[in-house]
Structure 1
Amino acid sequence: MDVVPKLPIGGWMEGFVEVLGQYKGVLFDPVAIVISTMVTYCSTVLAEIPSLILILLLGAAAWVFAGRASMVFTVVGLSLIHNLGYWDETMETLGLVLTATMISIAIGIPVGILCARHDTFRNLVTPILDLMQTMPAFVYLIPAIFFFGLGEVPGVIASVIFALPPIVRLTNLGIRQVPAEMEEAADAFGATGWQKLVKVQLPYAKSTILAGVNQCIMLALSMVVIAAMIGAKGLGADVYRAVSQVDIGRGFEAGLSIVIIAIVLDRLTQHAGKKERNT
């Protein structure tokens, strides 16, 4: 016999979700409209750019930020995706990733700044970030489906929750690493808190923040297959369909396309951060 009775944590969470569900139309429908619009817009813009032009643009960006070898890999890798017939699905995947990344940046950088400025706020946020990073991603899909139904929106929501912590942590870290002498010099010149943030702290922390953006993109991309389980489009849907049908060839091709996109995005953002650090 248990001395301490089981705590009804699951029941408490169900009750909390049910209470929020009563205000679904007011709280969550506008969010769903905004996210769906962002995904559609990003995917449409990327799809309307001719594939050759987009490959050359990304190749040029890779050359500028990461060097000749990354440029060759980007051009060859994206050309292979086009040759395999997964170009449209890749653009849909990039639309999901870009939307999740933009939302994560819009939330994560301000929260990271607050964490850097207020230790109490950081101590409150840190356990939440730990929970967001360690909770299995599948668990996020349950309330996301309840509030937003099936489709791309709950997939983006789950991706944001999964990808948000690194950018919060690294923004906080980057600002806290600003030398005290620089902040004292800004204070001596009469800079306001906002001026010190914009002209001293954020520029100094830019490379660290970009490292957070890099991790954010990688984590968002890792959610592609999981998001496909609840109706999201893109390469993840092809992987999920191949798994369901035990189609080894199709699964390998779609998985290879995801790997290529992940490497291209990683090289671009990672080397952009290093370039900022060296300048």
Structure 2
Amino acid sequence: MFDLPVGDAFEFAINWLTDNLSGFFDLVTLVVDSFLVGIENLLLFPHPIIMIVLFSALAWYVSGKGVGIFTVLGLLVIEGMDMWDGTMETLALIITAVVIALLIGIPLGIWASKSKTVEKVVRPILDFMQTMPAFVYLIPAVLFFGLGQVPGVIATLIFAMPPAVRLTNLGIRQVPEEIREAALAFGSDSKQMLLKVELPVALPTILAGVNQTIMLALSMVVIAALIGAGGLGQPVVTGLQQLDIGLGFEGGLAIVILAVFLDRVTQSLGASTG
């Protein structure tokens, strides 16, 4: 009936951005790579046993004895499979992507909670970000930032950011009106209302968004490995390419152990603020 060259228009836009904003993308690459390398070095510098003790103590303190014991055993299994370096690389990538996603997502969620216009604009964008196949994010990420860990971080944060925005917006909108009226009666201005009333009340919901952001970031590990992000996704990809069942299973098991640790700890943090 008619030809609608959506793909050509998208390709034109990507090429225009690549040609005209290369300096900006180089700056982003430098900043993200510096932060990521710093986190990696921090996680890899101590002996694995020291890190296992620290992670296990954190899990025990925050989530209880059961999660603490699981963390000890799980991380020892990872070390025994010789997956420790890959696990720390993956954790560094997740931390970097999640920190950037929260620095963008939480303020955007606060803004959306204060403005119906912003919410109406942001909602379809978030729908697009969540429903677009994750592999599609790799194309512009590689064109803008090349191969390696940085495009993996960028693709991961785009895919993982929507829950942070949505649940921050939801949490603030669900603050009971009686609490707001009481704060106003005591003379709170808009800044005090946000920082001392709305955010503390909405904190459990916001932390649920943080948890979901972390889980979505972790789900991108294998996909990011396809563009050279490394970490635990690499043995899974290698196992698939070489039909090495053992290597692929070990990489997948390490991802599961890391996912359970992160999920239980962040869930417990959210529950403790409720």
- Could you say which TM-score interval applies, normalised by the shorter chain? over 0.9
Shift of 1:190: 1.8
Show the counterpart of 1:154.
151
Report whether the alignment pairs 1:84 with 2:81: yes
Q: What residue is the counterpart of 1:38 in the other structure?
A: 35
Contact 2:40-2:89 at 8 Å conserved across structures: yes
The alignment of Structure 1 onto Structure 2 pairs a total of residues equal to 274
Structure 1 residue 249 corresponds to structure 2 residue 246:
yes
CA deviations on 1:134-164 (whole Å, 9 max, x unpaired) are 0001111111111111001111111011000
Q: What RMSD in Å do the two structures reach over aligned CA positions?
A: 0.9
Q: Does 1:106 align with 2:65?
A: no
Amino acid across the alignment from 2:42: V
CA displacement, residues 179-224 of structure 1 (integer Å, 9 cap, x when unaligned): 1111111112221211111101111111111111111011101111
Match of 1:166 in 2: 163
CA shift digits 1:50-89 (9 cap, x unpaired): 2122111211221222111111101100111011111111
Partners of 2:108 and 2:18 in 1: CA distance: 26
> Which residue in 2 is equivalent to 1:222?
219
Matched, 1:204 2:204: no
What is the identity, as a one-letter code, of the residue corresponding to 1:54?
A: M
Deviations 1:202-247 (A, max 9, x none): 1111111111111101110111111110011111111111111111
Q: In the aligned structure 1, how far is the partner of 2:46 from the partner of 2:197?
A: 38
> Residue 10 in 1 paired to residue 1 in 2?
no
- Mapped contact 2:22–2:144 kept (Cα < 8 A): no
Distance in 2 (CA, whole Å) between partners of 1:267 and 1:41 is 26
Which residue identity is paired with 1:63? W
Does the alignment pair 1:61 with 2:58?
A: yes
| Long gaps (5+) in structure 1 | none
AA of the residue aligned to 2:256:
V
Give ranges in structure 2 of 5+ residues lacking alignment.
none
Equivalent position of 2:21 in the other structure: 24
Separation in 1, partners of 2:81, 2:5? 51
1:130 matched residue in structure 2? 127
Deviation, structure 1 residue 21? 1.2
3-state DSSP of counterpart to 1:22: helix
Instruction: Read off the aligned partner of 2:60 and give its amino acid letter.
Output: W
In structure 2, distance between residues paired with 1:55 and 1:267: 16
Shift of 1:49: 2.2
Work out the percentage of aligned pairs sharing the same amino acid: 54
4+ residue stretches of structure 1 with deviation over 3 A?
Answer: none
* 8 Å Cα contact 1:24-1:147 kept in structure 2: no
Q: Using the alignment, how far apart are the partners of 1:212 and 1:264 within structure 2?
A: 17
**Structure 2 counterpart of 1:182, from 174, 179, 182:** 179
TM-score by length of 2: 0.98
